[in-house]
Structure 1
């Protein structure tokens, strides 16, 4: 005799579907983000549009500037219109923007396309982090966020293969046409992704939220006690500075600045800098694959470690190890050793920044979560804008070997800031990892 699955089993599968859809959205985000760095060596060697290294750095910064705009506005907009609608809009925007890049006839149009893509990319990530926080199993928020971020690096791996397989035989424009394909995913996201529970609760749609929570077998976020503030545009932002929260907020923002300077500086310039070190183009792109494989491993390891020991502590240690790894890339080493260093740098670098987001997401009030994560990401985007520009300036001045040293110093600064934040939070006991257990007891 057949029996239907238990409600919790059905709910578990539905929650997996929700997280999986967010994973796919972030996968396409990663593809679009890394594709520029993957095709950049070809653009420079063929002098496409007459591009120079400093102009290439500027173009890289256009995308990260767009991400700054997207990240700063995403949290506030998502808290008002809903995470689901914003995610669909972001996927649509960066897909169409890639089409602009593919048909560009000059640097100006290409830069416009990268800027528009950046707005969509910057808005998607913090929104997806907030969404999976709602649908994560109890006590597993940090590791689920880590799993989500593996998608970003899986997209980075695909970008390297797209460049290796298509750019030489077909042309660089084909790589950006591949990045238009996520447009087909937008209707799927609109049809099957549920709305954020914390958004529904904050908007007073409690019955709808309760029904979704029961269906997906996840915890219903607690309602805010200051409901009158939910209709004020800047209340969520002001809440980040109430009482002594402003110190922690600024520490997270500063750590995120250094972290994203490092992440996007390396993401943009790794193939080009390794090419300048004498590696063939195919080998330079292989470093992108190895770097992102390390990123996937790092997300899985860091998520589990953060759930046990605390996200800020893990982030501080990871940033210190990243700084050492990035600096070593400026030293000539045998190929196998260099590959190992690139892999380990990928392990620590990408997950270090993600654990900042995990910390902010776990510690934030559910109704304020998207704004907190969005603004932490947004402040970090200033570093993301600066990183690609800095790499381009150093390369144009003939000091490309200093690029790795400059990025390593950014890792040291983030180690200090997140380390201080961890020490300040130590009086809260084991709230960073076991905080999830407290949330489950609400």
Structure 2
């Protein structure tokens, strides 16, 4: 495995996770202090601003990455969400804070699918899902870091200091620009085959197959009208149904992920737990996410990512619903941890499925649009939690999120059944990509 590629992408996604989870971690402080005049319903709106930005970033990331390269896009995304955090730190109004979170969301949404596509290029044969799972542990390590930032920095220095911490990734940008190699798939698609072959040899991975034209010759740079072929290809023949199933599953999954990420500390305080315990839930939730990524990656490489995702969503729905029941603290800690194990990796296994079953030339577009369509759910989740909390129906927030998990279980389950009829043995690997005929 190209340890350098995975390591650099891991650090980038760590900062992505910190920036994503920091709002939910400091939100109880902001609500208690009535900072910027924030109320629960307005807090939900602000949470949705970031996920709306992520929608824009995810929808455009694949197309931009396929044109300018995934390395340049990753550098741009880290720079953008770091500078946007500085805007949040100095904001004097809800409008300025909301603009900062929206711009941060654009960078956050563009980084994840690009990093996933990057490590998929350098993953060993038969280990794509596990490699993606290892990458996504960084996202939850960032969530853990956000809880400790809230515990150690916000109390003495205030909530603005937490967003200044999120500017620190700017120091990482020069190393990312210097040492991260370009995507192999991008180089092959652009006709830079010799450069790609050198990189593949250096990092001990296989060179992606180059696309061929009707004359059987390797194609180089795409014509302007061909840039949309990757997107159109997701709907050719009978593939529209499979594509829509992935998008619907991603919608419910991200509604659940970002709804819980935004409101978990606040909802648990509403259940009667102290702030320290509520932030401990964030740590446990993300520790569970790290364990879940590793377990799900291994299981998905053996049994198939869509099957594992379906089972994981079912278990997530049970765990989230149980959080609405007041239980002994030790039991609640256990439920939060196990919910983190299943919830976070269930969504990532959707991305793993799409990445593995896409051709190299349209992989970034396929993952980006699946993530992007799911971002509609990510926008809706924080807003929904805010509305329920403002209406005094916080308990219903857990129920609503559980129902979202059940819907994703159904959609990815159907996709798994359809995929099992099409997939040939050994095709669920990066080198034996299923083109979804």
- TM beyond 0.5: yes
Is 1:151 matched up with 2:145?
no
Contact 2:128/2:429 (8 A) holds in 1: no
Equivalent residue, structure 2, for 1:118: 105
Equivalent residue, structure 2, for 1:325: 319
1:224-270 Cα shifts (integer Å, max 9, x gaps): 12448933231111011111111110000000000000000000000
Q: Summarize the alignment of residues 114-193 of structure 1 with structure 2, pairs less than 5 Å apart.
A: 114-193=101-180
Counterpart of 1:394 in 2: which secondary structure?
A: helix
Rounded to whole Å, the distance in 1 between the matches of 2:115 and 2:429 is: 21
Is 1:213 matched up with 2:200?
yes
Rounded to whole Å, the distance in 1 between the matches of 2:284 and 2:99 is: 30
Equivalent residue, structure 1, for 2:229: 235
Root-mean-square deviation (Å): 1.4
Q: Would you say how many aligned residue pairs link Structure 1 and Structure 2?
A: 427
Is 1:77 matched up with 2:69?
no
Rounded to whole Å, the distance in 2 between the matches of 1:271 and 1:123 is: 26
Rounded to whole Å, the distance in 1 between the matches of 2:429 and 2:137 is: 23
User: Where does structure 1 lack aligned partners over 5 or more consecutive residues?
Assistant: 1-11
Counterpart of 2:306 in 1: which secondary structure?
A: helix
Rounded to whole Å, the distance in 2 between the matches of 1:384 and 1:104 is: 24
1:246-302 Cα shifts (integer Å, max 9, x gaps): 111000000000000000000000000001111111110000000000000000000
1:94-115 Cα shifts (integer Å, max 9, x gaps): 0000000000001000000000
Rounded to whole Å, the distance in 2 between the matches of 1:373 and 1:337 is: 37
1:433 shift after superposition: 7.4
Q: Summarize the alignment of residues 302-341 of structure 1 with structure 2, pairs less than 5 Å apart.
A: 302-341=296-335
Counterpart of 2:248 in 1: which secondary structure?
A: helix
1:137 shift after superposition: 1.4
Rounded to whole Å, the distance in 2 between the matches of 1:228 and 1:250 is: 30
Q: Evaluate the alpha carbon distance shift between residue 411 and residue 327 of structure 1 in structure 2; reply closer, same or farther with a 3 A threshold.
A: same
Equivalent residue, structure 2, for 1:252: 246
Counterpart of 1:87 in 2: which secondary structure?
A: helix
Contact 1:394/1:403 (8 A) holds in 2: yes
Contact 1:34/1:267 (8 A) holds in 2: yes
Q: TM-score, normalised by structure 2?
A: 0.96
- The partner residue of 1:48 within 29, 35, 46 is 35
Equivalent residue, structure 2, for 1:63: 50
Counterpart of 2:4 in 1: which secondary structure?
A: helix
Rounded to whole Å, the distance in 2 between the matches of 1:433 and 1:37 is: 40
Is 1:407 matched up with 2:394?
no
1:352 shift after superposition: 0.1
Q: Summarize the alignment of residues 314-393 of structure 1 with structure 2, pairs less than 5 Å apart.
A: 314-393=308-387
Contact 1:306/1:432 (8 A) holds in 2: no
Rounded to whole Å, the distance in 2 between the matches of 1:245 and 1:368 is: 14
Rounded to whole Å, the distance in 1 between the matches of 2:13 and 2:234 is: 26
Equivalent residue, structure 1, for 2:292: 298
Q: Evaluate the alpha carbon distance shift between residue 164 and residue 205 of structure 1 in structure 2; reply closer, same or farther with a 3 A threshold.
A: same
Q: Give the stretch that moved more between structures: 417-426 or 228-237.
A: 228-237
